[in-house]
């Protein structure tokens, strides 16, 4: 079945890029570069999302994350004009090694857990089924029916966040 194999190839590439650039993002000393690596990772992720029959989410991923949030990051980085962080003079060896170990341990644990976990139950038909040729209307319908409250709360949250951000970053005029 060629289509499937094709998907496998795409998956391989996407996940490889995602992981590789994620690592880059961490090891990178220059903030701008880490941001860029993260952008690449996000692209990989959105490809994976497409493979998972979620093109809408994939587009959203790029549009919101890569296109807005990370640009905001870049903007701030430039605004503060952050050069690459100096090789820290008072490096905390304990923090570094321990942190690395813990991170790896937790990653391993989680991976094992997710793999050993039993398959999730069959989805509820009320939450219309995927993969489907066009899931966007279904998403919209759900958003304004089952998840209406969450949606409203979210809108409120965004408003508050906007106001808060404005207030925080505003220079105090005296």
Partner 1 sequence: MSPTLAAALEGAAKIAFVWACVLGAVLPNLIWVERRMAGFIQDRPGPNRVGPFGLFQAVADILKLLLKEDVVPMYADRLLHTVAPLILLVPAMTTFAVIPFGSTIHLFGRDISLVIADVNIGILYVFALTSVGVYGLVLAGWSSNSKYALLGGLRSSAQVISYELAMGIAAISVFLAAGSLRLQRVVEYQASGTFLGFLPLWNCFPQAVGCLIFIVSAYAETNRVPFDLPEAEAELVAGYHTEYSAFRFGMFFMAEYLNLIAASAMMATLYFGGWSLPYLHLTGIFGSLASIAVFAAKTGFFIFLFVWVRWTLPRFRFDQLMNLGWKVFLPLSLLNLLWTGALVLWGVI
Partner 2 sequence: MTGALPGVAPMAVPPGAFLVVGTLLFAIGLAGALLKRNAISIFLSIELMMNAVNLLFLTYARMRGDLAGQMIVFFVIAVAAAEAAVGLAIFVALFRVRRTVDVDKIALLKW
Partner 3 sequence: MKQLWLIPVLPLAGFLLNGLVALVASSSRAEKESGADHPLAPLPYAQRLFHGVVGVGSVGLAAVLSFAALVPYVLSSLHAPEGLAPVVQKVYTWMVAGDYSVDVAFRLDALSALMLSFVTFVGTLIHVYSVGYMQKDEGYGRYFSYLNLFMFAMLMLVLADNLPLLFVGWEGVGLCSYLLIGYSYDKDFAAAAGKKAFIANRVGDFGMVLGIFGVFALFGTADFSFVDLARRQALAGGAPLGVYAVCVLLFLGACGKSAQVPLYVWLPDAMAGPTPVSALIHAATMVTAGVYLVARCSALFVLAPDALTLVAWIGAGTAIFAATIGLAQNDIKKVLAYSTVSQLGYMFLACGVGAFSAGIFHVFTHAFFKACLFLGSGSVIMSMHHEQDMRRMGGLAARIPHTFRTMLVATLAIAGIFPLAGFFSKDMILGSAAASGHWALYAVGLFTAGLTAFYMFRLVSMTFFGKARSGDHGQGEHAHKSPATMTVPLWILAALSVVAGLVGVPAALGGSDRIGRFLGASVAHPEIHEMSHGLEIGLMLLSLGVAVTGLAWAWRWYGKADGPAEAVSPQAHAFYEKAGALGRLVANKWNVDEGIEVLVLSPFWKIGTFLWRGFDALFIDGIANASAFLVELAGDLLRFFTTGHVRNYALAFTLGVAVFLVYVWVR
76 binds partner 2 (CB under 8 A): yes
2 touching partner 1, by CB under 8 A:
yes
E strand intervals along 7-91? none
Phi, psi values for residue 79, rounded to 5°: -60, -45
Site string for partner 3, 5-44 (x = CB under 8 A): ----------------------------------------
| Distance separating alpha carbons of residues 104 and 65, to the nearest angstrom | 26
| 125 interacts with, out of partner 1, partner 3, partner 2, none, CB within 5 to 8 A per kind | partner 2
> Least distance from C-beta 145 to partner 1, angstroms?
17
Distance CA 38, CA 86 (A): 21
Answer for which of 52, 53, 64, 105 binds partner 3 (CB under 8 A) is: 105
End-to-end Cα spacing for the chain: 70
d(CA 59, CA 65) in angstroms, rounded, equals 10
Give min distance, CB of 59 to partner 1, in A: 4
Q: Is residue 17 within 8 Å of 40, Cβ to Cβ? A: yes
- CB under 8 A: which stretch of 15-23, 63-71, 93-101, 114-122 binds partner 1? 63-71
Q: Does 131 bind partner 1 (CB under 8 A)?
A: no
| Binding flag, residue 158, partner 2 (CB under 8 A) | yes
- The single residue listed with the structure tokens 């701008």 is 32
Where in 133-162 is the site for partner 1 (CB under 8 A)? 133-137
Rounded CA separation 3/17 (Å): 21
């Amino acid at each position: 079945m060629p289509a499937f194999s094709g998907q496998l190839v795409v998956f391989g590439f996407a996940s490889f890029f995602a992981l590789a650039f994620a690592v880059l993002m961490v090891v990178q000393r220059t903030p701008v570069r880490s941001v860029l690596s993260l952008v690449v990772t996000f692209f990989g992720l959105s490809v994976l999302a497409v493979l998972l029959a979620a093109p809408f989410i994939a587009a959203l991923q790029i549009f919101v994350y890569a296109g807005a949030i990370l640009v905001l990051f870049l903007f701030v980085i430039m605004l503060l004009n952050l050069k690459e962080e100096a090789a820290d003079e008072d490096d905390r060896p304990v923090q570094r090694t321990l942190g690395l170990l813990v991170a790896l341990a937790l990653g391993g644990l989680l991976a094992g857990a997710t793999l050993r976990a039993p398959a999730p139950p069959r989805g509820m038909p009320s939450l219309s089924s995927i993969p489907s040729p066009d899931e966007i209307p279904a998403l919209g319908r759900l958003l304004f029916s089952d998840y209406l409250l969450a949606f409203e709360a979210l809108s409120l949250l965004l408003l508050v966040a906007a106001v808060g951000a404005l207030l925080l970053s505003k220079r105090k005029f005296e």
